[in-house]
Amino acid sequence: MSRCVEVLLGPPWSADVMRGAHVAVVDVLRASTTIATALANGAAGVIPVADPADAIAVGHRLGRERVLFCGERDAQRIEGFDLDNSPASFGPSVVAGKTLVMTTSNGTRALHAVAGAASVCTVALVNRTAAADVLAHADGDIVIVCAGEANAFALEDAIGAGALVDALLTLVNRVELRDGARAAALLYRSVAGRLADAIASADHAQSLAQKGFAPDVTRCAALDTLDVVPMLRDGVLVLSPAASPG
Ligand code: MLT
């Protein structure tokens, strides 16, 4: 039986399409990249929450010494929080063993819009092949959700989704692409030879660069630098066990 792959290119995201499917949430700039970096560097888990007040409530329930409050509004660290949303802030000496409570403008919001999925993971360019491998070994349809920017389409997420579709096509025998997936794959292939430039040309990349985060944009545009897949389990993003061979 062939597996259906769809890409929801931007908000609003259809809950009907996600129900029962394996859902991959893509926020290339920067939440999905930062979450993958944090788990690769030894964070115990990442709890995505909707807003700063929720973060404080969850953090205090878990115990202040175990958690780091992280996230951004308008790309900057939230007042009173420990970390911003820059992957560069999430080094091993900072995050190892800690539970991160995170709120971002678009990425964690998209994670909260996912309803009734068979599984949920987060994907960026940096962990595209690792995620494709895990998704290829699961049964059922795949829905890739682009977090977007300010409630609209974001170029970098569509490119990231297309990169994931492209990898899935090499790993899954029988795939039926829906129109969103077809469009994302076409877009990715049209820029694959100049990925860093294409990501840097996106509106959100330019806004990040103006705020001093150009190195983040470069880091987020790198393909397959991390071999980790954050999976949502009981409200916490944790490392997926490696996909079994075969
Ligand atoms: C988001 O989730 O909205 C982004 O990660 C924002 C950012 O670049 O910090």
Q: pLDDT tens digits for 182-223?
A: 999 999 999 999 999 999 999 999 999 999 999 999 999 999
Q: So what's the pLDDT on residue 193?
A: 97
* Range with the poorest average pLDDT among 85-89, 106-110, 142-146, 240-244: 240-244
Q: So what's the pLDDT on residue 115?
A: 81
Q: So what's the pLDDT on residue 246?
A: 40
Helix, strand or coil for residue 82?
A: coil
Q: So what's the pLDDT on residue 120?
A: 97
Q: So what's the pLDDT on residue 1?
A: 79
Rounded Cα–Cα distance for residues 178 and 230 (Å): 25
Higher pLDDT, 243 or 209: 209
Around 171, how many Cα atoms within 13 Å sit in the side-chain half-sphere?
22
220's enclosing H/E stretch is helix 214-220
Gap from CA of 108 to ligand 1 centroid (Å): 9
Rounded Cα–Cα distance for residues 119 and 63 (Å): 28
CATH 3.90.1560.10 fits 3-226, yes or no: yes
DSSP 99: E
142 pLDDT above the threshold of 80: yes
36 pLDDT above the threshold of 70: yes
Q: So what's the pLDDT on residue 243?
A: 55
The pLDDT tens digits of the residues spanning 77-117 come to 999 999 999 999 999 999 999 999 999 999 898 998 888 99
Q: So what's the pLDDT on residue 73?
A: 96
Q: Which atom of ligand 1 is nearest to the CA of 107?
A: 2
What dihedral angle (degrees, nearest 10) is formed by the CA atoms of 164, 170, 174, 176? Answer: 40
Ligand 1 site residues, Cβ closer than 6 angstroms: 27, 29-31, 72, 75, 85, 104-107, 208
Q: Which atom of ligand 1 is nearest to the CA of 75?
A: 9
- For residues 4-30, give the mean pLDDT: 95
C-beta separation of 71 from 56 below 8 A: no
Gap from CA of 221 to ligand 1 centroid (Å): 14
100, 104, 203, 208: residue to mutate for ligand 1 pocket, most atoms within 8 A of CB: 104
Gap from CA of 179 to ligand 1 centroid (Å): 26
Gap from CA of 107 to ligand 1 centroid (Å): 6
* Range with the poorest average pLDDT among 17-26, 107-116, 167-176: 107-116
Percent of the chain with pLDDT over 70: 98
Q: So what's the pLDDT on residue 241?
A: 77
Q: So what's the pLDDT on residue 242?
A: 62
- Give the mean pLDDT of the chain: 95
Q: Which atom of ligand 1 is nearest to the CA of 34?
A: 5
- For residues 33-55, give the mean pLDDT: 97
Close Cβ partners of 93 (under 8 Å, ≥ 6 residues apart): none
Q: So what's the pLDDT on residue 244?
A: 47
Gap from CA of 173 to ligand 1 centroid (Å): 34
| Backbone angles phi and psi of 191, in degrees to 5 | -120, 5
Rounded Cα–Cα distance for residues 106 and 33 (Å): 13
Minimal CA–CA distance to 30: which of 100, 118, 122, 115? 122
